[in-house]
Amino acid sequence: MKRFAAFVTGAAMIATQPVFAQMGAPGERTPTMPAVAGPLAAKYKADADRIVQAAMADDEGYADLAYLTDHIGKRVSGSPQLNTAVEWGAELMKKAGLQNVQIQPVMVPHWVRGNESATITFKGEAGEITKPLHMLGLGMSVGTPKEGITAPVVFVHDFAELDALADSAVKGKIVVFNPGWHGYGVGSMYRTGGPSRAAAKGAAAVLVRSATGLAMQIPHTGTLRYDEKQPKVPSAAISVEDALLIERLAKEGPVTVHLQMDAHMEADVKAGNVIGEIVGSEHPEQVVVLGGHIDSWDVGQGAQDDGSGIMATFEAVSLLHKLGLKPKRTIRIVFWVNEENGGAGGRAYREWIGDKIGNQVAAIEMDGGAEKPLGIGYGGFGGPRRPAPPAPGAAVAPAAGRGAGFDVSSLSADEKQSFVYLQDIVSLLGSIGTDSVSPGGGGSDIGPITADGVPALSPHTVGDHYFDWHHTEADTLDKVDPDSFKKNTAMLSVVAYVLADMDGKLAGRKSTFRE
């Protein structure tokens, strides 16, 4: 997963003044609205009960996830494993009986990690230290010269400390960022924007503390974004422990790092979005789309990020077909490609939709792991989950939680009604504990269409461990709890079915899309 921003300023809680609970990842404030049963619950109770019962008894979705992770494995864009997964995904949809199964061709970047290593050397009054660092090159990084780079370290906590340094204090050195843990939005900001900020001052390379709160010597990769106006410098993530070690040693005396990275770009490779449908019985041109991204990073198995997302959404749609439920509108499942280091799949899907964007009734993306679900998130209300890097000299504020800035005064009548609809729908899910609605939902794959006003949704989970595992070697099948996976599947299936069959529609807002 890479975080995105397709957002609007302000939104609000509905006029019925629901009770708010504070849920979400540790340190984040996430307002949630409780279920309120209404006419949709009365109409769809029998169908929803059947869906939930089938989902909680289903083992096929998790078995498919096991095959994807154990037998295909990591599937970074440009790799043979990704194209194997794409072909497998299409066959899976065909075997499930879905209609209009196709692979939409998409050209994706091909970044290759190669061999890499980093070693720290320290000489001080207390003695000498030489040890390898736990590191992972950042996605899309350039490599070092073949012999590597050996240079003194400049340690900073944040951009403000970097900006305060003279260019001469940074030139030719390796900048190490350790902003601490203030949520993924802040952590990933240093990963994506730190290399070019340091390069602007003449840095030779950059090391960034991994964007996680878990200290277990596990480095986290993720994409960076070079400013084309600045030199491209080799950049890698290091473990929390190693970042803290460098911080301590830098207070005692000079620290030197040797960094070697073979990372490089190769020619783009043809891959594709995998698409299948249950065609609507009355309004086939109107579409509720749901899915996740089929690519992963080149470490681990891509289990939570985002194997769990594509398999839970797929099984949600497959169950509807198995149960013979055919909604009025079309339900479309998409496995988007190249979410992690380019977003080519989401953009290609938007181009494919073209001027029929008005027929996209709702878009649901699952890209936050299959942890215990609490309910559904709706709309890009509040700030983005990964803010833009601040301008030089500007302070960095801790990231706000999902739904931060949720303003009661700014909802339109249609948005208020949309929350009423969703509170009604999730009342059908009380038996599995997913009967809440929260402001804030979406994802980077659906960002290009939700920016054009398509209503955005995504599961809201407890978020206890997702950022501990994703983008690491530890993102493996064992991190996905089967019961939580089934509950996510059940919730997605019920929500997608009712949205595709009910008479009303959710409201969306046009917004500014920024990957």
Q: Rounded to whole angstroms, what are the CA distances from 249 to 40, 194, 243, 260, 401? A: 62, 22, 10, 21, 33
Amino acid residing at 69:
T
Q: How far apart are the C-alpha atoms of 496 and 144, rounded to whole Å?
A: 48
Can you state the angle between helices 39-57 and 482-501, rounded to 10 degrees? 140
Please pick, among 116, 277, 315, 339, the residue that the annotation labels catalytic: 339
Report yes or no: 305 and 220 within 8 Å, Cβ to Cβ.
Answer: no
| Distance, first Cα to last Cα, the chain | 11
Q: How far apart are the C-alpha atoms of 445 and 454, rounded to whole Å?
A: 13
- Find out whether the peptide bond into 407 is cis, omega within 30 degrees of 0: no
Nearest to 312 by CA among 68, 110, 512: 68
Q: How far apart are the C-alpha atoms of 499 and 494, rounded to whole Å?
A: 9
Which parts of 434-511 are beta strand (E)? 436-439, 456-461
Amino acid residing at 253:
G
Q: How far apart are the C-alpha atoms of 499 and 506, rounded to whole Å?
A: 8
The verdict on whether 339 is a catalytic residue reads yes
Question: Strand order of the sheet with strand 127-132?
Answer: 127-132, 116-124, 255-261, 149-156, 174-177, 205-209, 235-238, 135-137
Report yes or no: 310 and 72 within 8 Å, Cβ to Cβ.
Answer: no
DSSP-based three-state secondary structure for 359 = helix
Instruction: Locate 202 and state its tokens.
Output: 């003449």
Q: Which residues are catalytic?
A: 339
